[in-house]
Structures are given as structure tokens and as C-alpha cells.
Amino acid sequence: MKKTWMRTTLLLSGLAASGAWAHDGHGMPTASHWHATDVLGLILVLGMAAVAIWLSGRGK
């Protein structure tokens, strides 16, 4: 049960982060950039993954 939950959480975290890629910016050639919401989303996903890993090790 725990492994299934852990795998599901990691899969969903990875899918959530997949949209947070830098993109070419607003008519500026070869100038890729991030928006603040992209960075906040990435931080949120990394935090969720850290909590999932921490919780998975508590029963040992």
C-alpha cells in the first residue's frame, strides 16, 4: 500500500512539474526565461516529493 501511494505521489509530482519548462520569451530570440509561477510550481513539487520521501522512511 505504501509503495503504491509513494509511486502515485511521485508520478503525479512529475506530471505537475512537466509544464514548468523555460520557454522562448516574448519576441526575444534565444532568450529563454522562467515566470515566477513556474518557479513556485517547481518549488511546490520538490517540496511535495521531499515530504513523500520523508514520510515513506518514517515506518522503518
Q: What's the domain count of the chain?
A: 1
Note whether residue 24 is domain-resident.
no
Confidence of residue 59 (pLDDT cuts 50, 70, 90): low
Which domain, by its residues, includes 12?
1-17+34-60
Note whether residue 26 is domain-resident.
no
Note whether residue 52 is domain-resident.
yes
Note whether residue 29 is domain-resident.
no
Express each pLDDT in 4-22 by its tens digit.
877 887 777 777 666 555 5
Note whether residue 47 is domain-resident.
yes
Note whether residue 53 is domain-resident.
yes
Give the dihedral of Cα atoms 28, 29, 32, 35; nearest 10 deg. 20
* Secondary element (H or E) of residue 28: strand 28-33
Express each pLDDT in 12-49 by its tens digit.
777 766 655 556 666 666 666 667 777 788 888 889 88
